[in-house]
Structure 1
Amino acid sequence: MRKLGFVGGTGPESTMDYYQMIISKYQEKTGNNEELPELLINSINMYKIFALLEDGKTEELADYLTEAVQTLEKAGADFVVLTANTAHIVFDQVQQRVNVPMISMVEETYNHTKEMGLEKIGLLGTKFTMENDFFQKPFLAGEKTVVVPNPSEQQYLHEKIVDELEKGIVEDETKQGFLDLVGKMIERDEIEGLILGCTELPLIFKPEDLAIPQLNTTEIHVKKIIEMMFSEK
């Protein structure tokens, strides 16, 4: 069994979701609800990540996340994941600096859309995820279109994610605002699916809320994590 190390705290709500989902999928895989996976968690400071990105200090962010991954590597992790979409801005830089293999949430999400046959996909997340191109690169390479909200919509989403969702707060008014925004994207941009590109967005969006497929990046990531756990070293 390969030992997972995951960089959590980015934010705390999604870290709990990851932990619970990994346990659930692991037990489903083993068929034993009295079996638990042995794994390592390194919980870091989400607000430090946001501050570094606000100041454009991506090199320092890469250093910060590299140190977090190396801590897990030294503790005995066989592979590591970053449990936040935004942190994947520097995923490639971090992977190049460590010896332990890492699983990219972005690549796995792209693979999932490919399997589903989606060509034009909406992307929601923090402003850092929406305004940078790191999430869009594999889609563009695969000749798929990723659509993001306009700048004012991005700012609205970002503020609600940071001020509410990252703290576990879900307001009915916010949910309706998010659903209205996606409705506009379906009409205006003709998106065929929606990437929940922030691990807190499933707090808002439920499968029955939209007529188009939702791509929960946490679920997609965890599916690959479980496969990796049970693969040979």
Structure 2
Amino acid sequence: MNSFGIIGGLGPMATAYLLELIIDMTDAKTDQEHLDAIIFNRPSVPDRTAYILDHSKPSPVPPMIDMAKKLEALGVCAIGTPCVTAHSFHEELQRSVNVPFINMVQETAAYLKNAGCKKAGIMATTGTVHNGLFQRALSEIGLSYALPDDAMQQYVMSLIYDCVKAGEPADMEKFRTVSDALRKEGCDAIILGCTELSIIKRDNAIGSGYLDALEVLAHAAILACGKKIKPKYISLLN
């Protein structure tokens, strides 16, 4: 049976939620019909945004490559990681193994294109924004985008680091303020482009018009490993 390999711990809660999403989205009636998964939960991997903004900080790439190679040796058919910012190193990670390393950024952009989206708002870490991950992926397929201004980006980082990563409830006033600012820029969808933001969507009624990159990754993992999606999860953009 095909197994999916997960480079986890980036962060720990997002890793647990990815597995939950894969289980919930798979069209399975018995235990045996679910997807096999192998998870390395290694939260000791250095912070991705810190390294992107300051290369004197410890690099997260060597431990991620180490996990990818170990997963390949264990026989997985595809690999993914529940960390959008880590996709700044996607090419290097993909070169380190011979099995597909799912690119959740490109998968998210493609999903929006297929859904008929014209302009996407981007909520993500400063590292992801700094490296232009979603901006490039969207531009390459002809979609426009909007980013939070500096004050709103500080709100996004507070939601990620001060709330979810710290194990605290999300400040939904900040979440709604950023969302409203992006809607005013003409965005017809907002990308939850950090997997800590996925936890906010899980735990709060945020409304419609959001695409969760972690849900996109779960979707892609199930299909890559030859399983079927439950009908209610065919559409991820509500």
TM-score by length of 2: 0.85
Higher helix share: 1
Aligned to 2:89: 90
- 1:53-132 to structure 2, matched below 5 A, reads 53-56=52-55, 60-132=59-131
| Corresponding residue SS for 1:204 | helix
Which of 202, 213, 218 aligns to 1:222? It is: 218
- 1:135-214 to structure 2, matched below 5 A, reads 135-171=134-170, 174-187=171-184, 189-205=185-201, 209-210=206-207, 213-214=209-210
Aligned to 1:18: 18
Q: Distance in 1 between matches of 2:78 and 2:166?
A: 28
Aligned to 2:8: 8
Structure 2 CA distance for partners of 1:218 and 1:46, relative to 1, 3 Å? farther
1:163 Cα shift?
2.2
Q: Distance in 2 between matches of 1:163 and 1:227?
A: 34
Q: Does 1:32 align with 2:63?
A: no
Give the AA of the match of 1:12: P
Alignment length, in residue pairs? 225
Q: Are the counterparts in 2 of residues 85 and 105 from structure 1 also a CA contact under 8 Å?
A: yes
| Corresponding residue SS for 2:127 | helix
Structure 2 CA distance for partners of 1:157 and 1:35, relative to 1, 3 Å? same
Give ranges in structure 2 of 5+ residues lacking alignment. Answer: 228-238
Q: Distance in 2 between matches of 1:30 and 1:111?
A: 26
TM-score by length of 1: 0.87
Q: Distance in 1 between matches of 2:201 and 2:28?
A: 30
1:127 Cα shift?
1.1
Aligned to 2:40: 42
Paired-residue identity, %? 25
1:72 Cα shift?
1.1
Question: How large is the RMSD of aligned CA atoms in angstroms?
Answer: 2.3
| Corresponding residue SS for 1:178 | helix
Give the AA of the match of 1:53: I
1:189-215 deviations in Å (ceiling 9; x for gaps)? 11110000011213334685345x110
1:11-51 deviations in Å (ceiling 9; x for gaps)? 1111111111112223xx23325654322101123661234
Q: Distance in 2 between matches of 1:9 and 1:153?
A: 27
